[in-house]
Amino acid sequence: MRIGVLGGTGPAGRGIAARLASVGHEVVVGSRDRERAQHVVDELRERWGERVAGLAAGTNDDAASADLVVLATVWDAAVSTAAAHARQLAGKPVVSMANGLVKEGREFRPVPSPAGSLAAEVQQAAPGARVVAAFHLIPAAALADLDLILGSDVLVVGDEAARAAVLELVDGIPELRGLDAGSLANALGLEAFSAALLTVNLRHKGEATLRLEGIGPRRTP
Amino acid sequence: MRIGVLGGTGPAGRGIAARLASVGHEVVVGSRDRERAQHVVDELRERWGERVAGLAAGTNDDAASADLVVLATVWDAAVSTAAAHARQLAGKPVVSMANGLVKEGREFRPVPSPAGSLAAEVQQAAPGARVVAAFHLIPAAALADLDLILGSDVLVVGDEAARAAVLELVDGIPELRGLDAGSLANALGLEAFSAALLTVNLRHKGEATLRLEGIGPRRTP
């Protein structure tokens, strides 16, 4: 599948682009500045060689023209970026992986969204897009380190057809397991829980990954 | 420690009361109707015998006079129950374990709260209480089955001193691990994530429990 990453030069964008390329996808690393995207692709190729052969650099416009688009900007640019590419995003799966977050002392806190969640705001900004929220709980650095086996569960919510495509995308990454958590109404839980999880990381030693025990394969509806 | 359970006769209340009694606490099962509380205590004693020797029946007033109080009513009664006992709750740890939830078709969705979270509403209703939110992600039936080793992580948020007491309470239950997730601002994540987790349970076979991997013991601040 040809995948575009909007805001592909930041930590989340680099991480998801490298990881998806490493399992055989063609991935366009998009940026407002094409040269910056090329620089990131060169760096990733230098580090990972043939493992990221599917990476290509482009503008955000190039990335938005792919079959499936990941919105990987910093969180407070997610909505405006979706709005700027709304026409191209119409009809295709768009993955929102951001969550509004502030650091206050020794904790992270969720930033409330007037639409209920950042993903819902993205949906409003790009009404034709099939918005899905996923990948909030995997640290960008872990995504980017291809020698690291992730071993994590990824809750996926949003548009039904797009959700199925993203669950498949997740399951295609070794040791990740995609879990179907319903419609975009549940994006709030994924986004806000990220702040709690990051606070746990601050207050305990280490970097938490999510595992749910006690559940089996997805049921067909 | 003497623990009171407000709304102790519902599924969450029975579960947490039995589990806490089983590790040696004195637990007052509170109810608006004292006879109903006695009936529940009798049932739990019949099932678990000496393992729940610390259980006693009482009114919600009796439960609210304990050293630490768990608010275990159905979620839409949590705020009014806290308000009704606000005076007694002042100054002591009060654990909010509820989350606003509706079922729509094949999913659960979070109910938005005007205060940001149900726990924040509880805090507003009982301003002197040291409100903590915890235990959202453990199914009531699992809590109640004392033969079942829970094997789960419990994120705890809220008032600092009360949070420390509740983390200790959690760690005192075999195979539960208390994780410090910061102030009550992070109750939203715990509450809303519950809807996503319950939806995963509906859509996959089984009953999920939460495990975070990659983190170690709590740091001292």
Chain A residues within an 8 Å CB radius of B197: 181, 189, 212
pLDDT above 80: residue B25: yes
pLDDT band of residue B221 (cuts 50, 70, 90) is: low
pLDDT in tens, A66-117: 999 999 999 999 999 999 999 999 999 999 999 999 999 999 999 999 999 9
Tens of pLDDT, residues A8-51 = 999 999 999 999 999 999 999 999 999 999 999 999 999 999 99
> Residue B192's closest chain A neighbor by CA?
A189
Contacts of A188 in chain B (CB under 8 A): 110, 112, 188, 192
Q: How many CB pairs under 8 A join A and B?
A: 179
Q: How far is B27 from chain A (nearest CA, A)?
A: 29
Within 10 Å of residue A47's Cβ, how many Cβ atoms? 13
Q: What was the ipTM of the complex prediction?
A: 0.93
**Helix (H) / strand (E) containing A57:** strand A55-59
Question: Above 60 in pLDDT, residue B217?
Answer: yes
Query: How confident is the model over A157-207, as pLDDT tens digits?
Result: 999 999 999 999 999 999 899 999 999 999 999 999 999 999 999 999 888
Phi, psi of B178 (to 5 degrees): -85, 130
Mean pLDDT of B158-186: 96
* A26-31/A55-59 β-pairing: parallel
Residue B72: which of B118, B7, B166, B139 has the closest Cα? Answer: B7
Minimal CA–CA distance to B100: which of B136, B154, B142? Answer: B136
Structural Rg of chain A based on CA atoms: 16
Q: Are strands B26-31 and B55-59 parallel, antiparallel or unpaired?
A: parallel
Residue B87 makes CB contacts below 8 A (sequence gap 6+) with B128
This model's pTM is above 0.80: yes
Residue with the bigger pLDDT between A149 and A79: it is A79
Taking the C-alpha atoms of residue B151 and residue A181, their distance in angstroms, rounded to an integer, is 22
pLDDT tens digits for range A49-65? 999 999 999 999 999 99
Within 8 A of A204 by CB-CB distance, chain B residues are 179-180, 215-219
Q: Within 13 A of A81's CA, how many CA atoms are on the CB side?
A: 28
Mean pLDDT value of segment B131-149:
93
